A and B are shown apart, each in its own frame.
Chain A
């Protein structure tokens, strides 16, 4: 299917099935997915709700494991890894961006951004330096001391992106990053993700049901009923 053989494969799903519940109440969220993502790609995963796109994202982010089939990161099967190793993987190689921003309440932007570095065991001074740098990258230099509730939705999502990149990850996983923003702010966020993809070579996966959002990606994977309906590359707009 849509593998790009000219680039090294970073993330790879093979025959992945995911079911929830048991017996008659079994829900088949994913039904034998094969999907490869190469380093440096900007992929949009679209589809109606319940199509399996969020489940795919959770498996990519090591937050969920396939019921059947295999998920490999750079050829290493993830299902063989213990939870603490998965934590380290999430911390060092992934950055997460959520629809709800998910910043810690009543905590400053700088502290929110520095949080992944706490778990990476980085010293305080270095943490704050890198967090300030990441905030500058997303255009929020000078708002370090602002608390989450003092920031607009767009600014909060920028803080979340800063938090996602503070560890220099290879992959950003964004689950409906524009879902809670108006179109102007949504556009800014997508442009920011595009810049990070082009200038830093960070692989970006965006789950969205918004086609205008998907248009920013060079590759669009469409899901329907737990299967891949289409997988097409295009020139970036």
Chain B
């Protein structure tokens, strides 16, 4: 009986293919939106997690200026000095390694090739904190660092752009008016959390960078690592205390620097994704309700159109409950088909979008059956009114309906 009711419902829906398709569109879009947003949200989280663990373990970034959320006030704030670095290195017991880091975007020239690259000055500790080494050649030595030697290591993107197929080791490149010799090529790192290519980089000793590119001994950014993962918060506090003391700040003064923990960035990004997910879920819910109303509307039209058919069915022995079931199943079939198409469409769109913005594609396991189930439910709920109308028709009046 149920199988034949479903069969009757399907044949009724297939009689009006265009209308059936348009009716389910609301449900299709709603479900596709849910599935896509779930997939993208999870993909983005996985991606951010990967990117942050790629930064290096237990890493802290100390930047000048007050930070409120994602906003940073860098106007008229003191930068760090080499003695700040020394103080942290000597006094903070929960801090393992500290390095200065600064960067400029400069034009690099090799022969007739030139390219705008990120030129960064770092110390040897930087490579350890980030767990990043040279794939070919070597990193700057202690002597080179002390002397401010004109040496650099480059990322693979920079190498490909400037040296093409030639071996860059031992070759010279020019950064503005500074000449440096390539001594190594870094391991491939990929894109960062914010989509920046980390392999398009020229790294040189901080001493070289500050003397020959910055022209002063100020430090823009400090990077540090905690001795272990469970001491990250202690390390942050220590660094904060040391810097406040060195800057003679009074209790109650707001920090004019910020110690950032990439986990905070992750948490922040996740809260942003969470808000977006909630908003989109709301939009999807509205779309499902609108889709449901569309189904109710078309089912009411269908009941009117098929009044005679209902009359015939009643005359040849259908009970009111049979008619009720028929139209409910029809509404549910309509919305379930919409749900199934929506799930498929959502996956395809998510796959395309994931590819376009370079985040991993994740199949949202729970979201798919839930979205499908909700769409089925929408059909049943919005199908009740038309189905009751059909089942309450008087057989004689229905037969005579013109």
Chain A positions within 8 Å of B, measured between CB atoms, are: 58, 61, 63-64, 83-84, 87-88, 90-92, 96, 98, 100, 102, 104-107, 115-116, 118-121, 124, 163, 167
Any A CB within 8 A of the CB of B317: yes
Any A CB within 8 A of the CB of B389: no
Given contacts A64-B396, A106-B15, A119-B322, contact A90 B309 (CB under 8 A): no
Would you call A105 and B15 a contact (CB within 8 A)? Answer: yes
Any A CB within 8 A of the CB of B1: yes
Question: Nearest Cβ in chain A — how far from B326, in angstroms?
Answer: 10
B224-242 interface mask toward A, CB cutoff 8 Å, 1 = contact, 0 = none? 0000000000000000000
| 16 pairs of residues in contact across A and B, judged by CB atoms under 8 Å | A61-B315, A63-B396, A63-B399, A83-B319, A87-B318, A88-B317, A90-B316, A90-B317, A102-B308, A104-B309, A104-B312, A116-B316, A118-B4, A120-B317, A124-B4, A167-B317
Most chain-B CB neighbours within 10 Å: which of A61, A96, A102? A102
| B25 contact set on A, CB distance < 8 A | none
| A104 contact set on B, CB distance < 8 A | 309, 312
Most chain-A CB neighbours within 10 Å: which of B314, B317, B320? B317
Closest 3 CB pairs of A and B: A91-B317, A119-B317, A63-B396
CA distance A58 to B396 in the complex (A): 7
Residue of A nearest to B398 (CB): A63
Q: Which of B279-317 contact A (CB under 8 A)?
A: 308-309, 311-317
Would you call B317 and A87 a contact (CB within 8 A)? Answer: yes
CA distance A163 to B316 in the complex (A): 9
Q: Which of A84, A87, A102, A121 contacts B399 (CB 8 A)?
A: A102
Residue of A nearest to B396 (CB): A63
| B113 contact set on A, CB distance < 8 A | none
Most chain-A CB neighbours within 10 Å: which of B1, B11, B312, B318? B312
Q: Which of B4, B15, B312, B396 contacts A102 (CB 8 A)?
A: B312
| A88 contact set on B, CB distance < 8 A | 317, 319
Question: Nearest Cβ in chain B — how far from A172, in angstroms?
Answer: 12
| A91 contact set on B, CB distance < 8 A | 316-318
Question: Nearest Cβ in chain B — how far from A131, in angstroms?
Answer: 13
| B399 contact set on A, CB distance < 8 A | 63, 98, 102
Would you call B318 and A121 a contact (CB within 8 A)? Answer: no
Any A CB within 8 A of the CB of B339: no
| A121 contact set on B, CB distance < 8 A | 1
| A106 contact set on B, CB distance < 8 A | 11, 15
Would you call A107 and B11 a contact (CB within 8 A)? Answer: yes
CA distance A126 to B188 in the complex (A): 71
Question: Nearest Cβ in chain A — how far from B124, in angstroms?
Answer: 80
CA distance A90 to B314 in the complex (A): 8
Residue of B nearest to A90 (CB): B317
Any A CB within 8 A of the CB of B395: yes
CA distance A124 to B4 in the complex (A): 8
| A100 contact set on B, CB distance < 8 A | 308
CA distance A87 to B396 in the complex (A): 13
Q: Which of A64, A83, A96, A124 contacts B316 (CB 8 A)?
A: A96
| B315 contact set on A, CB distance < 8 A | 61, 63, 90, 96
Residue of A nearest to B11 (CB): A107
Q: Which of A63, A98, A119, A163 contacts B319 (CB 8 A)?
A: A119
9 additional contacts (CB under 8 A) given A120-B317, A167-B317: A58-B396, A87-B314, A87-B320, A90-B314, A91-B317, A98-B399, A115-B313, A115-B316, A119-B322
Question: Nearest Cβ in chain B — how far from A44, in angstroms?
Answer: 21
Question: Nearest Cβ in chain A — how far from B91, in angstroms?
Answer: 86
Q: Which of B3-45 contact A (CB under 8 A)?
A: 3-4, 8, 11, 15
CA distance A84 to B322 in the complex (A): 10
Would you call A63 and B395 a contact (CB within 8 A)? Answer: yes
Residue of A nearest to B316 (CB): A116
Residue of A nearest to B14 (CB): A106
Question: Nearest Cβ in chain A — how far from B193, in angstroms?
Answer: 58
CA distance A83 to B309 in the complex (A): 18
Residue of B nearest to A61 (CB): B315
